[in-house]
Amino acid sequence: MPSERKKILLRLDPAVHDALVRWADDELRSTNAQIEFLLRRALADAGRLPGAAAPMRRPGRPRREEREPDAGDRPDG
């Protein structure tokens, strides 16, 4: 099972946030995924992306084997 993702509070200028939201929409990503994408790209460009960093999640719902079963997924549910 993947490790817990870190949660942070990020304060942004409203204009910067609006620009990120528009960019994320253009790329069909959530704002959070867009911020992570940009941070990873900046780290990689600077040669600072840790080799142990897990790959970015794929867009959409996790595959069945990656998510915990809910009542609809179990044969007895």
Q: What is the DSSP string of 3-72?
A: PPPP-------HHHHHHHHHHHHHTT--HHHHHHHHHHHHHHHTT---TTPPPPPPSSSPPGGGS---TT
List the domain range (segments joined by +) for residue 28.
14-53
Count up the domains in the chain and report the number: 1
Phi, psi for residue 12 in degrees, rounded to 5? -130, 150
pLDDT at 21: 98
Q: Which pLDDT belongs to residue 74?
A: 59
Question: Is 59 among the domain residues?
Answer: no
Over residues 25-75, the pLDDT tens digits come to: 999 999 999 999 999 999 999 999 998 888 877 776 777 776 666 656 556
| pTM: predicted TM-score of the whole model, two decimal places | 0.68
CA atoms lying within 13 Å on the CB side of residue 50: 3
Residue 23: the pLDDT is 97
Assess if residue 26 is contained within a domain: yes
Contact 70, 77 (CB under 8 A): yes
Q: Is residue 32 part of a domain?
A: yes
